[in-house]
Amino acid sequence: MLMAIGAIIAGLVLLVWSADKFVEGAATTANHFGMPPLLIGMVVVGFGTSAPEMAVSALAASQGNPGLALGNAYGSNITNIALILGITALMAPVAVHSQVMRKELPILMLVTAFAGWQLWDGDLNRMDAIGLMVVFAGLLGWSVYQGMRQPQDALAEDMAGEIHAMPLKKALLWLGLGLLLLIASSRILVWGAVDLATAFGISDLVIGLTIVAVGTSLPELASSIIAARKGEHDLALGNILGSNLFNTLAVVGIAGMIAPMTVAPEVLTRDLPVMAALTLALFVMGYGFRGPGRINRFEGGALLLAFVAYTVYLLAFSGA
């Protein structure tokens, strides 16, 4: 059991570090080949912050652990809203003033409903997975099109500032090494998570929803806190919205394309409803029906309490 715990800790540390290096190498390489900074921020960096979830869920699916694959994806969404946004709002109230956010909040609601509809029969087959990926590709294309039509604003400048200048050879080295370590660390993490679940007699779904989900969401936590401290509220919230869209559509879609899986009943009756309820709460808090939206410290504390209650329930009442 100690070896499994050590594997989880080592896997998470290496996973987050390798994801950061992979993103840095990919962004710098794209910059060298003339990709616009806004596009790098939306596509390369956007993919990169969810790279841990993608790697872990894909590997878990390929090894026959559907609970871990789905738990990691949906648990990360719950963690992003309840834990990360809760902590961010406690540090500094998050203002929602961008029209982009007012469009993305309803889209996230619709995507969550679509994901629930795709899984409602208790199976995630390849056609379901293809449907998720098609919607993801459409949303990504629309976002890129909208972003390229707009002038470079402060957000784009902030994204451009994240691209570190380095020689192309070094960028390619970090790109390749980051990808290899991403795969290796995911393998270590999945092994440790499954072994720990077996040792404690709980399901790999619960491990995915808790330990693995929080660990793979560390990049989003770091970037959201940094953005909030800089006063970039749209960047902090956009990071969470983008990550949840990616997890719901691409992470689950990729896992389903690798290995079709049976969806555990508790995912449909417990985890998806919790994710939908938190998404609705985020919509109500952030949309701003009578003026600019604002997620205040009280609401941030409520989100954090919801996360604690959900986690305690999972660990106390969910068995194998």
> What average pLDDT does range 80-93 have in this prediction?
89
pLDDT for res 48: 66
Residue 162 has pLDDT above 60, yes or no: no
Across the range 16-21, mean pLDDT stands at 76
Share of the chain above pLDDT 70, in %: 81
- pLDDT of 158 > 60? The answer is no
- Give the model confidence (pLDDT) of 302-318 as tens digits: 999 999 999 999 988 76
Mean residue pLDDT across the chain: 80
3-state helix/strand/coil string of the chain: CHHHHHHHHHHHHHHHHHHHHHHHHHHHHHHHCCCCHHHHHHHHHHHHHCHHHHHHHHHHHHCCCHHHHHHHHHHHHHHHHHHHHHHHHHHCCEEECCHHHHHHHHHHHHHHHHHHHHHCCCEECHHHHHHHHHHHHHHHHHHHHHHHHCCCCHHHHHHHHCCCCCCHHHHHHHHHHHHHHHHHHHHHHHHHHHHHHHHHCCCHHHHHHHHHHHHHCHHHHHHHHHHHHCCCHHHHHHHHHHHHHHHHHHHHHHHHHHCCEECCHHHHHHHHHHHHHHHHHHHHHHHCCCCCEEECHHHHHHHHHHHHHHHHHHHHHCCC
Query: What is residue 9's predicted lDDT score, i.e. its pLDDT?
Result: 86
Confidence label for 226 from pLDDT (cuts 50, 70 and 90):
confident
Answer whether residue 160 shows pLDDT above 80.
no
Does residue 78 register a pLDDT over 80?
yes
Q: How confident is the model at residue 290 (pLDDT cuts 50, 70, 90)?
A: low
Instruction: Please tell me the total count of domains within the chain.
Output: 1
| pLDDT reported for residue 103 | 75
Q: What is the mean pLDDT of residues 179-189?
A: 79
- The answer, yes or no, to whether residue 156 has pLDDT greater than 50, is no
pLDDT of residue 153: 47
Residue 82 pLDDT > 80: yes
Bigger pLDDT: 15 vs 188? 188
Instruction: Say yes or no to pLDDT of 69 above 60.
Output: yes
**CATH code of the domain in which 295 resides:** 1.20.1420.30
Of the spans 131-140, 144-153, 205-214, which averages the highest pLDDT? 131-140
Give the per-residue pLDDT at 320: 45
Q: Which of 43-47, 54-58, 152-156 has the highest mean predicted lDDT (pLDDT)?
A: 54-58
Supply the pLDDT for residue 73: 93
Top-confidence residue, 47 or 128: 128
Q: What's the pLDDT tens digit per position in 96-127? A: 765 656 677 888 899 999 999 989 999 999 99
pTM over 0.75: yes
Residue 145 tokens, joined: 């099109």
More confident residue, 100 or 224: 224
Q: What is the pLDDT of residue 294?
A: 78
Residue 255 lies in domain: 2-317
pLDDT reported for residue 307: 95
Instruction: Quote the CA–CA distance of 133 and 313 in Å, as a whole number.
Output: 32
